[in-house]
Structure 1
Amino acid sequence: MPKKQKAKIKQKNKCPEKLIRTEAAKEIAEIDRSLQDQKYQLRCRAAIDLLTAKLNMINADLSRKKRHVVINQISSRVKTAESIYTKLIRKGLEPDFDTARAELKDLIGIRVVCPFEDEVYEVADRLKAQGDVQIIREKDYIKNPKKNGYKSLHMIVEVPIYSSKGPLKEKVEIQLRTVAMDYWSVLEYQIFYKKTENEEVAKELKTYADEISELDAKMLTLRDKIEKM
């Protein structure tokens, strides 16, 4: 981090709390104005629509072969101004939209929910095979869960979108998980995420994550058993 940027953040830490809140509100509002820019919104929509169309085609093909729906749910979001601001501050970065565009890779997000764990990887492999989808980074929190029990396959991809000025690239984070993983993740977010840490609650959530993971594995085994009958 540049010395000038470090000094600015250090100076902010010395400011009175009321002044910090006021400054933060201004910076969040400025980020939000950039987020609402029509051209940026169109870029986000184009990237989401492109990947959603690809995922729907993958789902149709795999579902026809397997004779059951392989993707239960596809949802998308553009990160809010407050969430962007919080993440930039947490990373010690300048809290403005240009920095967010340059440094954060999850401004646009898509969540894909599948019935079974092996199908999560099948969908991911089909996405990787798309010639116009570039894989920037992949983190497998299914095989290597986070300490709190969180499980999901994360992919940062770059997709082409087209404008009057020619082709552009937009980064999107794709999270792929099973129904069971999604169930735990959504509830964990609602009751605990970004709240004051509580060791007892965190331990209990981890226990539930382990139990849900075991159920996920049992359901996969049962599916395989039924398919062999």
Structure 2
Amino acid sequence: MSIINWREELFPYKQATDELYIKFNSIKKEYIDLEQHSPIELVQTRVKSIASIIDKSNKRDIHLTKVFEKLEDIAGVRIICKFVEDIYKVVQLIRDRDGKDLTIKEEEDYINNTKSSGYRSYHITIKYKVITATGAKEIPCEIQIRTMAMNFWATIEHSLRYKYNGNMPTHLREKIEACAEASFKLDTEMGTIREEIIETQKVIQIKENLVYEILKNIQNLYYIGKIEEMNEFNKEFIDLYQEGDIEKLNKFNNKLHTMATLYKVSYIG
């Protein structure tokens, strides 16, 4: 049997997950910078360990020399969303990239087609091209898209299934299935107040961005020697912040911005 150079074989899988991590987080950042609700809450990536690859190849009766041809989930990306509705927005974002920087091979909707265990998630298997030192390679990758509640349940269920080697006691399996339904009920109830939550978070994000701009402008004015006015600016900012009126904060920021422009301050990023 030929020896597998695991480090060399797994390197492009790590490169693929690293690049996908950056791309999906860039999408999230774009939504936030535009002060819009991001359907992406969190991005996680992993490359299966050698032990996990061997275990899976044994379970599927795949010869080790064929694992990189047969297994399509060695590279994995998990996208966590706040709401079920966001999952399908992320799915569409990925579909929009099909044929551009990735190729969709398969989609599996375990939300509308829940597994018997209670598992819910949306899976998309893709091919992603990476350019390595030895040339271009197409790497298979499984993208899992789920809510925070679904992810919490799936993490616990996976741990229990691993502990009992797939033979979970009946009473425990029944409890975990009941928890899956309770978890999905939480997602459903949260969906009924989704718009109100999004609006609240949008206001918070606008305020956070505004505070950042104000503090940046105050700092810039400090650098050009307007030290005598710093205490006045800081006191006014604190008073306005505690008052919580975004319109007044915005006017205050415009005043600072005008002063900074007048004194030709170069903004600090």
Higher relative CO (Cα under 8 Å, sequence separation at least 6) belongs to 1
2:185 aligned with 1:214, yes or no? yes
2:108 aligned with 1:135, yes or no? no
SS at match of 1:56: helix
Structure 1 unmatched ranges of 5 or more: 1-26
| RMSD over aligned Cα atoms | 2.4
2:82 aligned with 1:115, yes or no? yes
Contact 1:58 1:123 in 2 (8 A): no
**Paired residues for 1:36-115 under 5 Å:** 37=7, 39-64=8-33, 67-94=36-63, 96=64, 98-115=65-82
Query: 2:209 maps to which residue?
Result: none
Residues 173 and 228 of structure 1: CA distance in aligned 2, closer, same or farther (over 3 Å): closer
Query: 2:114 maps to which residue?
Result: 145
SS at match of 1:142: coil
Give 1:51 shift.
1.0
Q: Structure 1 residue runs of 4+, over 4 Å off?
A: 225-229
TM-score, L = length of structure 1: 0.77
C-alpha separation in 1, matches of 2:58 and 2:10? 24
C-alpha separation in 1, matches of 2:190 and 2:77? 25
Query: 1:14 maps to which residue?
Result: none
Give 1:192 shift.
3.2
Residues 227 and 60 of structure 1: CA distance in aligned 2, closer, same or farther (over 3 Å): closer
Contact 2:14 2:47 in 1 (8 A): no
Residue 174 of structure 2 is aligned with which of 181, 195, 203? 203
Structure 2 unmatched ranges of 5 or more: 201-269
Deviations 1:120-154 (A, max 9, x none): 11112112212121001111111111101111111
Give 1:191 shift.
2.7
Query: 1:10 maps to which residue?
Result: none
C-alpha separation in 2, matches of 1:227 and 1:101? 42
Give 1:69 shift.
4.4
Q: Percent identity?
A: 28
Query: 2:142 maps to which residue?
Result: 173
Contact 1:158 1:169 in 2 (8 A): yes
Residues 44 and 228 of structure 1: CA distance in aligned 2, closer, same or farther (over 3 Å): closer
Deviations 1:161-195 (A, max 9, x none): 11345422111111110011011111112233351
Contact 2:106 2:125 in 1 (8 A): yes
C-alpha separation in 2, matches of 1:40 and 1:91? 20
Query: 1:223 maps to which residue?
Result: 194
C-alpha separation in 1, matches of 2:134 and 2:50? 27
Give 1:208 shift.
0.7
Deviations 1:178-219 (A, max 9, x none): 011011111112233351321111111011100110110110
Equivalent position amino acid for 2:53 in 1: I
2:95 aligned with 1:124, yes or no? no
Give 1:224 shift.
2.9
TM-score, L = length of structure 2: 0.66
